[in-house]
């Protein structure tokens, strides 16, 4: 099972994109003085558009390890080949210990530094942020989390669109 994996943070910072508005009335997106965020771990199969996304309160070695366990339960008895970047959390001692215990269940392939263009899941993150936070105000972390959950439900039903958005459609 070949999967491209990564993590991202969906913040309440407003991302303003080009949008239509009434002539003479600039679109305004409210803001507040604190910034909530939700971290998302993800893996995508570029052959069939299958995605595994996991929301977390932070992106650290512990939550990455949780994500690996989710992948293991999703694809039991299969070799999981993960292509990912060289983030510190991917090399943490607890992660290495887990991978050693799992034996032949996982094989990690690390991309060269500063090469996000080589990981198709980066295009999924752009789509996620365009769908969830572009030109939108989220009042708190729960509101962001619910928007991400709706996005996750949508892409689970649309593997062909996932492939198209990743540039992998035939």
DSSP per position, 77-109: TS-EEEEE---GGGG-HHHHHHHHHHGGGEEEE
Q: What is the pLDDT of residues 113-143, one digit of tens each?
A: 999 999 999 999 999 988 887 777 777 788 8
pLDDT for residue 125: 94
What is the reported pLDDT for 34? 58
Does some domain include residue 27?
Answer: no
Identify whether 45 is part of a domain: yes
Q: Which of 70, 43, 67, 49 is nearest to 155 (CA)?
A: 49
Domain annotation covers residue 21: no
Residue 131 lies in a domain: yes
Contact 166, 123 (CB under 8 A): yes
Position 23 in a domain: no
> Is the residue at 103 inside a domain?
yes
Provide the number of structural domains found in the chain: 1
102: left (phi > 0), else alpha (psi -120 to 50), else beta? alpha
- pLDDT score for 73: 96
Q: What is the pLDDT of residue 33?
A: 56
In the predicted model, residues of the chain with pLDDT beneath 50 are none
84 close to 59: Cβ distance less than 8 angstroms: no
Strands 80-84 and 51-56: unpaired
CATH of the domain at 111: 3.30.420.10
Residue 134 is assigned to a structural domain of this protein: yes
pLDDT of residue 98: 97
> pTM here?
0.84
- Please give the residue range of the domain that contains residue 63: 2-12+34-166
């Amino acid at each position: 099972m070949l999967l491209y994996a990564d993590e991202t943070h969906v913040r309440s910072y407003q991302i303003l994109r080009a949008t239509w508005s009434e002539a003479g009335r600039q679109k305004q997106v409210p803001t507040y003085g604190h910034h909530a965020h939700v971290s998302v771990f993800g893996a995508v199969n570029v052959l069939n558009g299958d995605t595994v996304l996991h929301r977390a309160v932070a992106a650290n070695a512990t939550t990455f390890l949780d994500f690996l366990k989710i992948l293991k339960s999703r694809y039991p008895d299969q070799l999981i080949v993960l292509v990912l970047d060289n983030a510190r959390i991917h090399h943490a001692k607890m992660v290495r210990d887990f991978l050693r215990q799992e034996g032949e269940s996982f094989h990690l392939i690390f991309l060269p530094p500063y090469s996000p263009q080589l990981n198709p899941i980066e295009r999924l993150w752009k789509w996620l942020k365009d769908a969830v936070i572009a030109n939108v105000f989220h009042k708190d972390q729960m509101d962001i989390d619910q928007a991400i959950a709706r996005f996750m439900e949508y892409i689970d039903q649309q593997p062909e669109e996932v492939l198209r958005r990743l540039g992998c459609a035939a």
